[in-house]
Structure 1
Amino acid sequence: MTRLRTWARGTWAVPVVSGVLILLSFALQHLAGGAWNAAVAPQWWIDAGEHAHTAASTFTLADVAMLAAAAVAGYRILLQAARALTARVIGIDLLVSVAALGAVVIGNFWESAAVTFLFAVGHALESATLTKTRSALAELVAVAPDTAVVLRDGAQVHVPAGQVQVGETVLVKNGAKVPVDGIVLDGTGALEEASITGESIPVEKSAQDQVFAGTVSRGGFLQVTATGIGADTTLARIIHRVEEAQDAKARTQAFIDRFSSWYTPAVMVLALVAGLVTQDVVLALTLLVIGCPGALVISIPVAIVAGIGRAARNGILIKGGEFLETAARISAVAVDKTGTLTEGRPELTDVVVLSPTMDRRDVLRWAAAAEAGSEHPLARPILDTARAEGVGAVGLPGSVTPVPGKGIVSVVDGQRVLIGNAALLEQYGVVDEVGAGRQAHELAAAGRTPMIIALGGTVIGVVAVADQVRTDAAAMVRGLHEAGVRKVVMLTGDTRLVAEAMGEVTGIEEIHASLLPEDKLEAVARLQTEGHTVAMVGDGVNDAPALATADIGVAMGAAGSAVAVETADIALMGDNLLKLPEAISLARRTAAVMRQNITIALVTVVLLLAGVFGGGVTMSIGMLVHEASVLVVILNAMRLLRTRQGTTRASRSQRMAPQAVVADAV
């Protein structure tokens, strides 16, 4: 009984019951001699006039069954139309309701039942196929873990995932889902992170590595300290973002909605005028049916839902339909270097001693002491190397003054220490008498980032750091061009020599080096004035102004950043650069599907109108073609959910990509 009630509330109950009643009506009409006919019509119906059904004085059981079919299929449509009218909205439901009621009034019960039945079937099929287009979101929800194994008082306790407390130790065994975001406390294992990053290859995890809820252990045993639970997990944020994005309207969709708000009343006026001029009520009602803009209204949102869902399944979060449309027009991509084109893990490669009174350890010690209070990414490799060689900084410098684009000035033990480029020395009046500039030039030409160190007014040495170029950087540049991007530009604070070394490796031809954050903003604005739709890829810190100015801001490796997931126009959850051309290619395909759907919808209406005025298109045929057009645009959008082979080719290119070492400037 419960199952029957569930089915009755389902999408298919109404069209099934209506269809059975239509078949029953045909069966009753087919029975010989009209033996089943009974005069059940009230006198008011018989007196309705010459348009009464078959102009007869009898109202058959077949008619009753057909009317019942129309009522079963049409009552929800009529209710929706009434609700829309109370909100001062003239929608598709009103057109169908007027047409169906009009058909009943003129005694055309079959057309009324056919129109409402087909509309109900179309609605059920639309719901089913739209659910399919939202399958990516359903898959994300499905991977959310239900239970967790928590270590409490030395014992393993099974609890609902939502009841884990931040700071508790969670055990992740082979084959289990990770129930929380956290940091690996102990153990090793391999996690499949496809639900987060879109990459199906398991990632090795060990102590201090970050793990995400919804990922699956494919081997090993991990003890994880919970840092995010429930709605605070990366998976929950992704689900929330995809929900919002799929419901957000694109500019084209907003235009179509405005167009429909005027188009639907216009169809009603056209039908009324046509009926009055031709004195043909059937023609007027048929115009109402074939004028339904259903395919047009649904053409855009179904494509957006499918496109954003496909992207989310691949580890690409797009903020909404508007940004999807904008991404389809991207013609220029500006990329930061450090952490985007490079791994973002620079290492100290050179310590050049230029003072006769000092050795390597002395130069390294002063460099580390100066950088101890710096927040710059290049401070870390200097500090790590100094610590490893036993000359790490003790305490903090007296003061640290960043000089944007040049370096830093620190006070250590009462002495001023400069660490940066030649422009920093010049600003503070330090004369280079030992060839530090020449040494820095040679190191930069080799693809390393040099930093000159001056103690007081004397240059004592040069240190250099380098960062590994991502293996997929060159493949990304090629992929962007294949996706239709005309220009790829590197924006970096590093020196031109280092940037050009990177350009040779990655294939980026236009390079803007030695830039301050505001210079990057100006570079993006300049591209826009040239007519480009610009995407900016950066780390969101030094590049924040440029990211905000660009038409599309792209965040790399956003899985570990709640802010990036919520704020980036496009968030690439993993560190795979090939996701960027994939995102742009998908956006272009989605925009193409949107255009195709609009064309299908409009051509269908024009052909139906021609068929009505030319003869041959009835109400039922018009509704059948209308619903078919709705399904065609939905099925066309569902093509976006298919996996393409381009990713496989890109992966091969990634394995063949060359490597180099470069890093960003101080």
Structure 2
Amino acid sequence: MQRRLSETEADVLYYTLIELPGIENVKVYQRTAQLAVRYVGVESAILDYISDMDLSDPALQDNVPTISARATNEMYKNKILNKVMLRIGKWLFLPLPIRTVVTIYQAVPFVWRGLKDLFNKNVSAEIIHAAAVLAALLTGEFDTAASVVFLTEIGDILEEWTYKKSVDDLAQSLSLNVEKVWKVADDGTVSQVSLNHMHNGDRFKVTMGNMIPLDGKVVSGEAMVNQAALTGEPLAVRKHDGVIVYAGTVLEEGELIVEVRSSSGETRYDKIVNMIENSENLAALTQMKAVSVADRLVPWTFGASLLAFVLTRNVMKAASVLMADFSCAVEVAMPIAVLSAMREAGKHDITVKGGKFLEAISEADTIVFDKTGTLTRATPVVQEIVTFDGQDPDEMLRIAACLEEQFPHSLANAVVRAAKERGLSHYDIKTKAEYIVAHGIASNIGEDRVVIGSYHFVFEDEGVTFENEADRARLGEIPAEYSHLYMAIGGKLVAVIAISDPIKENTPDVIRDLKAAGFKNIVMMTGDSEKTAKAIAAQAGITEYYSEVLPEDKAHYVEKIKDRGEKVIMIGDGINDSPALSAADVGIAIKEGADIAQEIADVTISGSDLNQLVNLRRLSDKLMKRMHSTYVIGNVLNGAILVFGISGLIVPRIGAVLHNASTIGLCLRNMQDLSASEEDAPETVSLPQPSVA
């Protein structure tokens, strides 16, 4: 039994437990070697697992990202402790002449950075602080100069630590999703396994519309890959044998077999941190405007300092005014507010890719829904398999599942799930399947072409025929309220799979709440028939809807609304929704849908809870209010410092304390959840101290 865990042991415990089935939340208390777990399942099983864990096991240590939040916290604690100890040591043990030399030595680079910004015409806080330190040095106030340098450095460390912690918290919330991958065995068979079971040298298969889960080298196939997540370039690039592909990119067209070159724990967390820190979308427009205004106040601060000197002939009073830096609080505290809002969204299973999208959600007038898998249930069910020409229903379902599993969508998932429930084995189709956007899938069984998809695709595009008129008449007997997947082999209709896709129970309430939250126009667009679309829209409480639309129709509608000056949110889950998701001010994808839709989208939510849309709107509104209040409070506090400096009520070192304290205070305030409440607090179960190696 241990009384304390090392940083590594605490991380191993956290990252191992958080990915276990049924574990919803884990908190490790490093100093007391205890933890709290929120879980679904049997408590004794969790206790037994923890008791048997060997925290020195290399396999468990592979679960830990290379950048550890605990290690980061320890690093910044040591930085502050070292600064404080050096400061105390200088005062206690160094005589005045040597202390003065040390002060000048420490102040020179501080002043130099400010002068360099001044020469480069880069308006910054460095110039103001450098001027205050230089004034203190020139007037012989070496203790004041040393205090300003010390307090500013401590403030910078605390601000950097606060920002880094916000980034780490957000990255952690984005990096813990356990993903699946299609692993290719040595004999060529394909099976779906957890991403954590993949190792260097293993091979996996990626098909059209899916995300590449790991870094690797292409060993077979050719495809066009969208690398926007890494490069920002929207155009897909060609990938072929021998070329490296990267985790997080999406295969738009084609198929690849990839050999793993780095396993999941090695780079996933680091890439997410890098993505967050370098994201051009991180800053909201309001934030950028506030920073711009604050930067323009820097010359006025110098003007106020000059006025103080003219009125008082006191250099120290003028230097005190220079401690009022209006830009610092805005430039540091506002990004933290954005990061905290993104992290809070992550706690509710919402992934937001930038602050500017939260701002756009707050300002949006129109919200456009795809129907299938968005307004309707994320788990539709196969109700009936109608076969033709004497075909066996199970055999037809088995073939359909083999095709549909390669291009996940809510209806495709229903087919695959139905086959699994019936215990139908995988059908070996040698020829790769081809996905035709918004229409269906085509492949071959032997010499025969097999297609599955919409009525338009199967009968009009593919020219499928009936064996006789009786079969044609049977189509009218299939209930119209079901979604229909038509399948043909060798140009003949063999089956129609009828899938019930009922509206989600809370959809009407969500639509009503969205209207109350300020959305003026709520629209539904679907490729389904007019009859089906009308019924679903009526149940949902949506008055404006469009049926039998193609992907380009959705995108054109979004563009038309934007041209009217409205901000538009588009919500969808399929490959066919991607053009509209890209065209909207904010594209929101359903996590259970196609990977390419999630990659293109600016926000992803869980399809099981549409209330997340209402929460997202409220969160966005609260973020905008917090950013506005941050700007006002920061300016008021620094305005007070400026007035106190002019009046001579404070000296520079006190001004530095007040300035840094106000900035850090705003940062800490902005780290708090926007909608924290007692009912949102997780119910945790404290477990005894684990036995660790």
Which TM-score band applies after superposition, normalised by the shorter structure?
0.5 to 0.7
- Distance 1:292-1:8 versus aligned 2 partners, 3 A rule: same
For residues 611 and 535 of structure 1, what CA distance do their matches in structure 2 show? Answer: 48
Instruction: Tell whether 2:132 aligns with 1:99.
Output: yes
Q: CA deviation at 1:337?
A: 1.8
For residues 65 and 322 of structure 1, what CA distance do their matches in structure 2 show? Answer: 51
Q: CA deviation at 1:552?
A: 0.8
For residues 416 and 332 of structure 2, what CA distance do their matches in structure 1 show? Answer: 58
Q: CA deviation at 1:610?
A: 3.3
Q: CA deviation at 1:492?
A: 0.9
Deviations 1:124-148 (A, max 9, x none): 3323433443341474699799xxx
Q: CA deviation at 1:81?
A: 2.6
- Distance 1:300-1:549 versus aligned 2 partners, 3 A rule: same
1:216 — aligned with what? none
Instruction: Tell whether 2:479 aligns with 1:443.
Output: yes
Range 359-368 or range 235-244, more displaced: 359-368
- Distance 1:614-1:10 versus aligned 2 partners, 3 A rule: closer
User: Do the aligned partners of 1:540 and 1:547 also contact (CA within 8 Å) in 2?
Assistant: no
User: Do the aligned partners of 1:436 and 1:452 also contact (CA within 8 Å) in 2?
Assistant: no
2:621 — aligned with what? 588
1:172 — aligned with what? none
The amino acid that maps onto 2:642 is L
For residues 610 and 262 of structure 2, what CA distance do their matches in structure 1 show? Answer: 27
SS in 1 for 2:628: helix
- Distance 1:75-1:417 versus aligned 2 partners, 3 A rule: closer
> 368, 371, 378: which is aligned to 1:337?
371
2:79 — aligned with what? 10
For residues 111 and 419 of structure 1, what CA distance do their matches in structure 2 show? Answer: 78
The amino acid that maps onto 2:82 is A
User: Do the aligned partners of 2:439 and 2:457 also contact (CA within 8 Å) in 1?
Assistant: no
Q: CA deviation at 1:78?
A: 3.0
> 484, 489, 499: which is aligned to 2:523?
489
Instruction: Tell whether 2:664 aligns with 1:631.
Output: yes
- Distance 1:107-1:579 versus aligned 2 partners, 3 A rule: same
- Distance 1:88-1:498 versus aligned 2 partners, 3 A rule: same
User: Do the aligned partners of 1:18 and 1:69 also contact (CA within 8 Å) in 2?
Assistant: no
Q: CA deviation at 1:11?
A: 3.2
- Distance 1:18-1:97 versus aligned 2 partners, 3 A rule: farther
Q: CA deviation at 1:96?
A: 1.7
Deviations 1:313-333 (A, max 9, x none): 544332223223223323332
- Distance 1:614-1:72 versus aligned 2 partners, 3 A rule: same
Deviations 1:250-307 (A, max 9, x none): 3334334444554324433443465357644334322222245321322322212222
Q: CA deviation at 1:15?
A: 4.2
RMSD: 5.9
Instruction: Tell whether 2:360 aligns with 1:326.
Output: yes
Q: CA deviation at 1:554?
A: 1.6
- Distance 1:437-1:340 versus aligned 2 partners, 3 A rule: farther
TM-score normalised by the chain length of structure 1: 0.61
Aligned residues: 536
User: Do the aligned partners of 1:241 and 1:317 also contact (CA within 8 Å) in 2?
Assistant: no
Range 282-291 or range 566-575, more displaced: 566-575
For residues 551 and 482 of structure 1, what CA distance do their matches in structure 2 show? Answer: 21
User: Do the aligned partners of 1:311 and 1:317 also contact (CA within 8 Å) in 2?
Assistant: yes
Structure 2: runs of 5 or more not aligned: 1-73, 179-184, 187-195, 205-212, 216-246, 248-258, 683-693
For residues 307 and 660 of structure 2, what CA distance do their matches in structure 1 show? Answer: 25
- Distance 1:124-1:548 versus aligned 2 partners, 3 A rule: closer
Deviations 1:307-366 (A, max 9, x none): 22333454433222322322332333222122323345655535789xxxx888599999
Instruction: Tell whether 2:199 aligns with 1:164.
Output: yes
For residues 331 and 589 of structure 1, what CA distance do their matches in structure 2 show? Answer: 17
Instruction: Tell whether 2:593 aligns with 1:552.
Output: no
Alignment of 1:95-134 (within 5 A): 95-134=128-167
- Distance 1:100-1:559 versus aligned 2 partners, 3 A rule: farther
1:599 — aligned with what? 632
User: Do the aligned partners of 1:18 and 1:70 also contact (CA within 8 Å) in 2?
Assistant: no
1:513 — aligned with what? 547
User: Do the aligned partners of 2:366 and 2:569 also contact (CA within 8 Å) in 1?
Assistant: yes
SS in 1 for 2:336: helix
Structure 1: runs of 5 or more not aligned: 26-60, 146-151, 154-160, 170-178, 182-212, 214-224, 650-666
SS in 2 for 1:116: helix
- Distance 1:373-1:311 versus aligned 2 partners, 3 A rule: closer
Q: CA deviation at 1:406?
A: 12
Alignment of 1:373-392 (within 5 A): none
Q: Identical aligned pairs, as a percentage? A: 24
User: Do the aligned partners of 2:174 and 2:351 also contact (CA within 8 Å) in 1?
Assistant: no
1:420 — aligned with what? 455
- Distance 1:123-1:346 versus aligned 2 partners, 3 A rule: closer
Deviations 1:107-133 (A, max 9, x none): 444543443343233223323433443
Q: CA deviation at 1:417?
A: 12
1:303 — aligned with what? 337
**Quick one: higher RCO (CA 8 Å, sep 6+), 1 or 2?**
2
- Distance 1:591-1:558 versus aligned 2 partners, 3 A rule: farther
SS in 1 for 2:86: helix
For residues 230 and 379 of structure 1, what CA distance do their matches in structure 2 show? Answer: 27
For residues 349 and 144 of structure 1, what CA distance do their matches in structure 2 show? Answer: 32
Range 92-101 or range 236-245, more displaced: 236-245
For residues 415 and 177 of structure 2, what CA distance do their matches in structure 1 show? Answer: 41
For residues 420 and 646 of structure 1, what CA distance do their matches in structure 2 show? Answer: 48
User: Do the aligned partners of 1:405 and 1:493 also contact (CA within 8 Å) in 2?
Assistant: no
- Distance 1:585-1:314 versus aligned 2 partners, 3 A rule: same
Q: CA deviation at 1:597?
A: 0.8
Question: Larger Cα Rg: Structure 1 or Structure 2?
Answer: 1
Q: CA deviation at 1:604?
A: 1.8
For residues 290 and 557 of structure 1, what CA distance do their matches in structure 2 show? Answer: 46
- Distance 1:396-1:246 versus aligned 2 partners, 3 A rule: closer
SS in 2 for 1:89: coil
> 517, 524, 540: which is aligned to 2:558?
524
- Distance 1:441-1:321 versus aligned 2 partners, 3 A rule: farther
Q: CA deviation at 1:401?
A: 12
Q: CA deviation at 1:599?
A: 0.7
